[in-house]
Structure 1
Amino acid sequence: MNRESLMRKRLGFAAVVALLALLLAPVPATARTDAGPPVTVPALTDWTAETGSYAYGSRTRLVAESAAERRIAGTLADDLRSAGHRRITVVRGGARPGDIVINIRPSRSALGTEGYELHAGTSLSITGATETGAFYGTRTLLQLLAQGDRIPAGRTVDVPRYKERGVGVCACYIHISLPWLENLVREMAYNKLNQLLVELKVKSDAHPEANTWGYYTKDEIRQLVALGDKYHVEIIPEINSPGHIDPWIENRPDLQLTDSDGDKQPSRLDITRQAAFDYYTSLMDEYAQVFTAKSWHMGADEYMLGSDFAKYPQILNYAREKYGSDATPQDAFVDFVNRVHDYAASKGVGLRIWNDGLTGANTVPVKTDTTVEHWLNVAVKPSALIAQGYAVMNSAYSLYLIRGGFHSDTESLYDQSWDPRSFEGEKLASSKGVTGAKISLWPDNGRGETENEVAVRLWPALRHVAQATWGDPHPDATYAKFVARGTAVGHAPGWRDLTRVPVADGTYTFGRSFTASVQRTADGYVNLRSASGCLAISGGKLTLNVPLQPGVEATWDTCDATNTLQRWEPEPVAGGYRLVNAITRMALTVTDDGRIVQYPPDQRTPAVWHLS
């Protein structure tokens, strides 16, 4: 008797059909045929498979008792709804099959401050020693549910290898839209990144002369920081100093460093003047009104970029007066860093700086509780900084995405099994003293790419650094498989597709101003074409190749598909649309004499065009 006949005899034909259907059913997307861990980013390195699966369904509830547990449950409920999993109820009391249970157990100290345990069975439980740990467990759950409502039964204990896992964004000259930054925060949390450095300008009440374009209002920053707090992403502010400070002092020549020829240097702060220090710390005080982070980044990079201390003899004189005849100009620089350190410390905030200013030419050391972010290979290596007692973060240039320029080669880094011990110029044998790593977005050629184009390169790099800082830097045999892992988990709940254009291609009359053909661009903006050319922002003084001055007139230039300054975002508002330039991020307004010019929306009310 063959096997099929025997099965029919023992079980009956209907039972055999049911059994064969079960055996031949496709394996769920979240389960591997070898009973390996479900697919997540970062990958799970500790997974014990069990029999059966957890099923998320219409009767699923969120069970949470304490206030902290209910906060985590509330955020998860919001995200489940955003991800299309319907509204879910948060309850107290015992769990029943299908429920999700949130536990915060401080006694589980082995989980650390960010680790968690997830157990999937008839119900699913997430346990952290802290609120943050439990939160990260919910990110794993969301990634699993993005692949289907059934999760293979099993248990994982998931703890990060590095405490700092981040992204740095310079919105310091070229404005980046708030929705784009909000997308970034959500994606970071979804992939368990916890630190966002933002070098940007907050509109100043104390120093209105500094409010040239590129700033964010305090309400905008409060909104961003609140999102970061909700998603356990610490948003650390930076005002670069004493170099690269021209966005702040271009209208303050009294604070600019003067060279030996008598020329003012608008990108360099005069560190020998008390007024310069007072100005800088007053900006720190204003930022403290909107940022909640316990770190402050002062930059401190490239102070003498394109010059040298010999052009500024007053700096050496200052150093010798303060530290003696053997002092160097570098000591004056370190003195400024240490004074900012002490001011931040008096407010309960730690200081962070870039590494390239620490050349070894100083006799005065930087305070050792300063975190050094290493991005450039200079004389003082990471190993030496760690030996001197500094905490060092890997912000390697190989992890940079420069707008319109160099892009991190994520595939090559993945194939090399890159991890945070691999600095520019040195690879460490141990991770001791290394806080973690981050990728950095810099706008060196501001018009080279739109922010939507930057995002295309960003998401794979973001997932890679998340993987390399949380767990095994090479969880899949090939980079293609690692990319597929990211595709499987998708984007974070609440992520917005900013490439959707709300206006169909066609010819429209924009109120009484002009008639133009609207044509969608590949990166999710539009060109506006008329018989006179394409609407563009092209005049005024250029900063990083971009006309950033308020009041610059929009003109009809020769159409050029590669010219990003000819791309516009039609922003729906009551009564019609605003037009926001894809690069300058300023909205168009119409002057009394009929000219169309760009302005920040809080300086001039943007024009609203009815399209017909």
Structure 2
Amino acid sequence: MSSTTSAATPMWSSLPQPTSVDLTGGLWQPGRRVLVTAPQAGLRREAERLADELTALGHGAAAEVPAPGGVEDRDPADTQATVVALRTGDTGMASPESFTISVGDTVEVVGGSAVGVFRATRQLLHNLIAQDGVPRGQVRSEPAVAERGLHLDAARKHYPASWIADLLRSLSWVGITTFQWHFSESLGFRIASERHPEIVSAEHHTKAEVRELLELAADLHIEVVPSLDMPGHLRQALATHPEWQLPAPAADTTHALDITSPDAVRFARDLIDEYAELFSTSRHWNLGADEFVAFEAMDDYPVLADAARSRFGPAANGFDLLTAFANDTAAHLAEHGFTARVWNDGMFRGAVVALDPGVQVTWWTNWNALMRPVTDGLAGGHRIVNFMDSLLYYVLGEVNNYPYPTSERLWAEDWHPGAFTRLPGGVAQTWGTPYPEQLLGASFSVWSDIVDAQTPDEVAAGIRRPLRGMAERAWNAGSRLGHDAFLRIEAAIG
């Protein structure tokens, strides 16, 4: 980050930090009245939102949005009002999230799109909260990666709708773009179903609640990615349908769908069809395909190998059948308008069936030497989101050697979106900037393994700082802030 400020000049106090900062000294502070102008009709919502937020913060007791036509429409005698002018235009940067902010006697915001204006207004609010004013000068910013996400396992543990709404607002506060809603797991199925009410947990969300949350997410420029994990992680859904469980006398498969059975696959498709309508405004869908069986002991599931050889020839194995299931499910999702995603651990391990290049991969781990490296995903043409488990997994109860993430560790290990989980033996999987075009971004994850280990409020408090650290370092491909400076800003912005 470049800066011409002196030690006495107020610092730009926001998260994520802008790409470049050129400050001239002093603070812009709202006057007794603030006019938020937005001559473009598509920005009316952003102008009204900012006026409401300024009023709520006590900045501009009468913050308002003038009628269409902009600042020129105000009374020339109205000299007591200060102006925040919002518009979209050419920022000189490629991302629709890009923005410039010029702060003098007035504040002028230019966004690459409405979401860029939204990102910029968060920056203004951060500074007003942190230091009761916005430093004068100019900032420019665009993200290093297009996607910065949070995954929530709201299937093992039920999180109230009001809590998820507050979470969405907190995500938007620091530029998170994506909320992956994991609503089905072995310990719970948490959204109402008309087609299969027998599989739904007692504590669950109604579809009306889900629609309200989807509307809120859209208003906050957050995409919701439904996560209906299959063919594994289905114990709750299969508990009343043992006829569709994978047969394997020597192993527990009460969580695993029998992908050799057309009837079982139809059941899975029926679930997709119901929830595809509910999540019709989403663009992506994570179908899972992880931890289906004990992958290191695939030979213990002869039914998979037999079906694979019958369908694909004598060289095929169980991984080929799993990959084909992922491909077929992705094609079905495409009919509903979704781009499919899968977890990486069981992929790229078949002998004859390749994962469709259009399927995106959420790369979370490489703990086993037989799991393929990230280079295999890139070579296959897949777009990839970095879900790095070793630093970005918040696992309730800290089970399976997952200590709770901290911002200290993110800075100590210099994490950025191109740094993935290491291979066995400590071999790094790291790409520097400019990142490969296939790297979509990164995501933090909450997994509710030990349901009662924390209350929802304790989860919110626990993830706040490391999530904000990820947001800062994902936007900027690292951070020029030292960790102490990050902590000061993180505490100050509320």
TM-score by length of 2: 0.88
Amino acid at match of 1:271: I
1:274 to 262, 265, 269: 262
What is the RMSD computed on CA atoms of the aligned residues? 2.1
For the 8 Å contact 2:115–2:221, the answer to whether it is kept is yes
Change (3 A) 1:246 1:87: farther
Partner of 2:430: 428
Q: How does 1:70-89 map to 2 (within 5 A)?
A: 70-85=44-59, 86=61, 88-89=63-64
Partner of 1:180: 163
Separation (CA, whole Å) in 2 of partners of 1:199 and 1:99? 43
What is the CA-CA distance between 1:149 and the residue it aligns to? 4.0
Equivalent residues, number:
457
Partner of 2:396: 403
Give the SS at the match of 1:258: coil
Q: How does 1:236-315 map to 2 (within 5 A)?
A: 236-260=225-249, 265-291=253-279, 292-305=281-294, 308-315=297-304
Change (3 A) 1:239 1:84: farther
Of stretches 394-403 and 88-97 in structure 1, the one that deviates more from structure 2 is 88-97
For the 8 Å contact 1:383–1:428, the answer to whether it is kept is no
2:410 to 407, 410, 413: 413
Partner of 2:484: 480
Q: Does 1:371 align with 2:360?
A: yes
Separation (CA, whole Å) in 2 of partners of 1:51 and 1:449? 45
Partner of 1:526: none
Separation (CA, whole Å) in 2 of partners of 1:120 and 1:193? 25
Partner of 2:211: 222
Q: Does 1:144 align with 2:137?
A: no
Q: How does 1:590-609 map to 2 (within 5 A)?
A: none
Q: Deviations over 1:176-216 (max 9, x none)?
A: 12222112111111101101111013110011111223421
Q: How does 1:446-485 map to 2 (within 5 A)?
A: 446-471=451-476, 473-477=478-482, 479-485=483-489
Change (3 A) 1:208 1:429: closer
Q: Deviations over 1:303-344 (max 9, x none)?
A: 114884333322222211211111111111011100111011
Give the SS at the match of 1:99: strand
What is the CA-CA distance between 1:134 and the residue it aligns to? 1.1
Change (3 A) 1:51 1:300: same
Separation (CA, whole Å) in 1 of partners of 2:455 and 2:220? 26
What is the CA-CA distance between 1:480 and the residue it aligns to? 2.9
Q: Does 1:121 align with 2:110?
A: no
Give the SS at the match of 2:365: coil
Separation (CA, whole Å) in 2 of partners of 1:84 and 1:161? 34
TM-score by length of 1: 0.71
Change (3 A) 1:242 1:143: same
More helix by share: 2
Q: How does 1:31-42 map to 2 (within 5 A)?
A: 33=7, 35=9, 37-42=11-16
Q: Does 1:168 align with 2:151?
A: yes
Change (3 A) 1:36 1:158: farther
Give the SS at the match of 1:146: helix
For the 8 Å contact 1:238–1:297, the answer to whether it is kept is yes
What is the CA-CA distance between 1:77 and the residue it aligns to? 2.7
Give the SS at the match of 2:237: helix
1:110 to 93, 97, 119: 93
What is the CA-CA distance between 1:352 and the residue it aligns to? 0.8
What is the CA-CA distance between 1:144 and the residue it aligns to? 1.4
Q: Deviations over 1:54-100 (max 9, x none)?
A: 22122211111222110211222333344344452111334376111
Separation (CA, whole Å) in 2 of partners of 1:362 and 1:440? 31
Partner of 2:115: 132
For the 8 Å contact 2:286–2:342, the answer to whether it is kept is yes
Of stretches 277-286 and 416-425 in structure 1, the one that deviates more from structure 2 is 277-286
Give the SS at the match of 1:412: helix
Q: How does 1:372-387 map to 2 (within 5 A)?
A: 372-377=361-366, 378=368, 379-387=371-379
Amino acid at match of 1:74: E
Change (3 A) 1:319 1:141: same
Partner of 1:12: none
Separation (CA, whole Å) in 1 of partners of 2:200 and 2:337? 28
Change (3 A) 1:34 1:305: farther
Amino acid at match of 1:59: R
Q: Does 1:235 align with 2:224?
A: yes
Give the SS at the match of 2:20: coil
Amino acid at match of 2:381: G
Partner of 1:58: 32
What is the CA-CA distance between 1:359 and the residue it aligns to? 5.0
Q: Percent identical across equivalent pairs?
A: 27
For the 8 Å contact 1:111–1:128, the answer to whether it is kept is no
Separation (CA, whole Å) in 2 of partners of 1:475 and 1:148? 20
Change (3 A) 1:459 1:311: same
Amino acid at match of 2:84: I
Separation (CA, whole Å) in 2 of partners of 1:375 and 1:265? 23
Separation (CA, whole Å) in 2 of partners of 1:290 and 1:73? 30
Change (3 A) 1:328 1:102: same
**Could you say which structure has the larger radius of gyration?**
1
Separation (CA, whole Å) in 1 of partners of 2:179 and 2:221? 10
Separation (CA, whole Å) in 1 of partners of 2:453 and 2:356? 39
Change (3 A) 1:202 1:81: farther
Separation (CA, whole Å) in 2 of partners of 1:489 and 1:109? 28
For the 8 Å contact 2:9–2:26, the answer to whether it is kept is no
Give the SS at the match of 1:47: strand
What is the CA-CA distance between 1:397 and the residue it aligns to? 1.0
Unaligned runs of 5+ in 1: 1-30, 491-612
Amino acid at match of 1:381: P
Change (3 A) 1:59 1:80: closer
Give the SS at the match of 2:287: strand
More strand by share: 1
For the 8 Å contact 1:171–1:199, the answer to whether it is kept is yes
Q: Does 1:336 align with 2:325?
A: yes
